[in-house]
Amino acid sequence: MLVNGIKSRPVYTGLTIDPNAGRHLFALEGEGPQALFDQVQQVGAGFLASAQILYVPTTAAPKDHAAKIAALKPDDLWLAPTIAVLLNRFRNELSRATMRTRIYVAGTEGFIGQVMRETLDFGVDHKSIRNEHRGSEARRVQCVHCKGITEDVKTSPYACTHCGLNLLVRDHYSRRLAAFQGVSIEAEEPGTAPPPEELFR
């Protein structure tokens, strides 16, 4: 069960390279590098001479993405062990970035959302950030009751990992929290939750 058709659901418009940018800053996760490889195929590798790439290869991703990026010889490639560490480095890069820097994000929705949130805090409009969803469709969801965030939610309803309520996953999204909003599916009548349905692979 999923509630969709909600306007706040993010739309990922693609990692299109901005030919005018003086510097290209990439934050990639998991299968995200495939969006980069597609761009190289389409517009050539020229932009990589002024590209800085931060990549976190998650366990689900095949290991050779990092080697393949390195083979493209970007100006800088840095591998992060976890998303949290990548975000920390990314913030530092933003504080050094100029208006000539274009920001690109690719990976799972939860990752894109967290990178976007860091960028928005720097006074950048969300429409200025180029993004592409790659990899798992699992969602990052906030429980609207206890405010706890659960990563990698694959079903709806799901049991909140913080308070245990059975939550209905909706397309209602918060850019500030970088999370979809989950709401109790049996608030009126406890014990009536339907069985979880696997919706996000």
Contact set with another protein (CB under 8 A):
18, 20-22, 94-95, 97-102, 120, 122-125, 127-128
Q: Which of 66, 62, 51 is nearest to 19 (CA)?
A: 51
Supply the minimum distance, in Å, between the C-beta of residue 9 and another protein: 20
Closer CB to another protein, 40 or 97, in the complex: 97
Supply the minimum distance, in Å, between the C-beta of residue 41 and another protein: 22
Supply the minimum distance, in Å, between the C-beta of residue 117 and another protein: 13
Q: Which residues contact 171 (CB under 8 A, 6 or more apart)?
A: 2, 3, 4, 5, 6, 8, 9, 180
Supply the minimum distance, in Å, between the C-beta of residue 103 and another protein: 8
What torsion, rounded to 10 degrees, do the Cα atoms 189, 191, 194, 199 define? 100
Supply the minimum distance, in Å, between the C-beta of residue 185 and another protein: 36
Amino acid at the residue 62: P
Supply the minimum distance, in Å, between the C-beta of residue 154 and another protein: 34
Q: Which residues contact 168 (CB under 8 A, 6 or more apart)?
A: 1, 2, 3, 156, 157, 182, 183, 184, 185
Closer CB to another protein, 59 or 95, in the complex: 95
Closer CB to another protein, 23 or 68, in the complex: 23
Closer CB to another protein, 91 or 147, in the complex: 91
Amino acid at the residue 95: S
Closer CB to another protein, 23 or 162, in the complex: 23
- What's the chain's Rg over C-alpha atoms? 18
Closer CB to another protein, 21 or 179, in the complex: 21
CB 167 within 8 A of CB 141: yes
How far is the CA of 126 from the CAs of 15, 59, 112, 164, in angstroms? 14, 28, 11, 33
CA within 13 Å, CB half, 28: 26
